[in-house]
A = this chain, B = another copy of it.
């Protein structure tokens, strides 16, 4: 039985299960039976290699944030490729539009302390990066069977601790950067310490939230019966961008603007 048939007669989940059985028992082939247990075909181990590779291919394209191509890159027309790519990009774009809305609420804060805007890309991208990292880690752990749906609470606990630790590390680097720049270029003036504290706390908050959100997303998708690998890195980044800037400006408002009598 050729791979083509295997693809057409079974669902993706079935294929994965067959692949698992063949691999775990180191079989060279498995028979395919009908409801009367009569043999109707055979799946050989080289079919499995194709299935595993095809699956990985699709997962990688999903993680990058696009529909899988049906044809090789060079043989896909540019129009078809733009069509496949535009859909996901447009969805992400519409999601990301909430950042413009959210930032509208903090327009007054930015006008009072433009320096806050300077650190915005740094802060929100750190949330996005830690989120995509956590997501791809969990997707992979799920694909390998290391993490099951029922493990969600243990994963939350682990990711909470990891998130805070990663936030503290990035926060420390951020603070150091601000103090060094102040020392060398006198960039931030009298408010250097309070700015450094704001950035430090914001990074802990944003990275912890990003890590938690990123690690839980594959669980939510799987719970909804969707492929956890459709939690693409850009999707996580978009989700975390909106919440990240709310966390950032809220912390800035409390720590910095109050302190400076600007809020």
Contact = CB atoms under 8 A, between A and B. Distances in A.
B125 A233 contact: no
Contacts of A103: 117-118, 120-121
A60 B57 contact: no
Contact of A90 (B26, B73, B88, B169): B169
A126 interface: yes
Q: Specify which of A26, A64, A104 lies most central, judged by the most chain B CB atoms within 10 Å of its CB.
A: A64
A229 to B, nearest CB: 8
Chain A binding site: helix, strand, loop or mixed by DSSP?
Answer: helix
A42 interface: no
Interface of A: 19, 22-23, 26-28, 45-46, 48-50, 52-53, 55-57, 59-61, 63-66, 69, 72-75, 78, 81-82, 85-86, 88-90, 92-94, 96-97, 99-100, 103-104, 107, 110-111, 114-115, 117-122, 124-126, 128-130, 132-133, 135-141, 143-144, 146-147, 151, 154, 158, 161-162, 165-166, 169-170, 173-174, 177, 187, 207, 233-234, 237-238, 241, 245
A143 B69 CA distance: 14
Given A85-B137, A89-B130, 17 more contacts: A23-B53, A28-B46, A45-B45, A45-B49, A55-B56, A57-B143, A60-B140, A63-B233, A64-B137, A65-B233, A97-B177, A104-B118, A110-B117, A125-B237, A128-B234, A128-B237, A129-B238
A214 to B, nearest CB: 9
Nearest to A63: B63
B61 A137 contact: yes
A103 to B, nearest CB: 4
A51 to B, nearest CB: 9
Q: Which 7 A-B pairs have the closest CB atoms?
A: A64-B136, A56-B56, A73-B141, A72-B146, A99-B121, A233-B233, A129-B234
A59 to B, nearest CB: 6
B125 A78 contact: no
A162 B114 contact: no
12 contacts: A60-B140, A64-B135, A72-B146, A74-B154, A92-B125, A96-B125, A110-B114, A120-B121, A128-B237, A129-B237, A133-B234, A233-B234
Contacts of A154: 74
Contacts of A72: 141, 144, 146
